[in-house]
Amino acid sequence: MVSKMQLHSVGEMCPGYLAAHNVSGMSSAKASEDYVSCETCVHWEDNRCNIDLFDKVLTSLDQT
């Protein structure tokens, strides 16, 4: 089970993070710009990272 906190921490540390600005045509991208998290990343799909960076970044977080 992944917490919001982890999604946020991983998003901040992840080299692959790319903000998904075009979520269903919404013009107010401000909220997603401010909140870096896997949940606002274009690679986040079906509650997992579709380029498999999540586990790697999470592991490196745990080691520090």
With respect to ligand SF4, which residue has the nearer C-beta, 14 or 32?
Answer: 14
Q: What's the closest the beta carbon of residue 53 comes to ligand SF4, in angstroms? A: 4
Distant-in-sequence, close-in-space partners of 60: CB < 8 Å, separation ≥ 6: 13
- Residue 34 C-alpha from the chain's centroid: 12
Residue 12 to residue 31: CA distance in whole angstroms: 15
- By CB under 6 A, name the binding residues for ligand SF4: 10-11, 14, 16-17, 38, 41, 43-44, 49, 51, 53-54, 57
Q: What's the closest the beta carbon of residue 20 comes to ligand SF4, in angstroms? A: 9
